Amino acid sequence: MYKKGFTIIEVVVVFLLILGVTFLTLPKNLETTKKAKLISQWSRKYADIQYVFSVMKAQKDSELREKINGTKNHNDKEEIFLETVKPYLRITTGIKIPYTQRYMNDIEVTATGKYYFNKFYNTALNEIVGLKLINADCEGEQVCAIMAFDINGSSPPNTWGYDIFGINILRQNIVPFGSGINHDELKDDCSKIGSGVYCSYYYLMGGRFD
């Protein structure tokens, strides 16, 4: 003989099981959603940056080169470059709060690292931008400068590949960090055992986060 319906105890047990599974999976689902949102933001940001630099090149290229050639001090050259890009990237002021960056493998970015920036700046969109001049006399495919974009500002995690992405600025165009690197190396770097720097390109080419 079959019983009709469920007892209160059976209903409570099922409810508790569902609740337990929900609590176990909720943090992961929220983290996945957050990552997806940040990746989407970076994709839009990179498209904006491409446009900005194409406009800046058309309007300021010869003027910028003349100003940079007019000074020999590297710091002065970097300041000239920064002042040129400021209005285009809506950079407002230097940040006045403690701010450090980490790689995806949880190692802190130190002053000896290639992707270390001495100064960071706020933008009108509440982002944090870092700029470093590499070679003021760059030509062809040589890197002139690099930039980092923390697309959610000072909010955590302040980590490469999560909310920080970057670009190489060349003489004629810009490319995301990782451009030209093979897929396997991109995937390894864009993981918890890597730096996360190459995520800047890996995500733009459709790479998936772990």
**pLDDT tens digits, 48-76:** 999 988 888 877 777 887 888 888 888 88
Q: Is residue 196 part of a domain?
A: yes
Identify the pLDDT of residue 148.
Answer: 97
In-domain check, residue 16: no
pTM: predicted TM-score of the whole model, two decimal places: 0.81
59 is a domain residue: yes
> How many domains does one find in the chain?
1
Please give the residue range of the domain that contains residue 143: 29-202
Query: Is 19 among the domain residues?
Result: no
pLDDT for the residue numbered 15: 60
Residue 143 counted as domain residue: yes
> What residues of the chain score a pLDDT lower than 70?
1-6, 10-32, 208-210
Return the pLDDT at 35: 79
Please tell me the predicted confidence (pLDDT) of residue 45. 94
Q: In terms of Cα–Cα distance, which of 92, 115, 95 is closest to 168?
A: 115
Helix, strand, coil % in the chain, rounded to nearest 5: 40, 15, 40
Sequence-separated (6 or more) residues with CB below 8 Å from residue 125 = 90
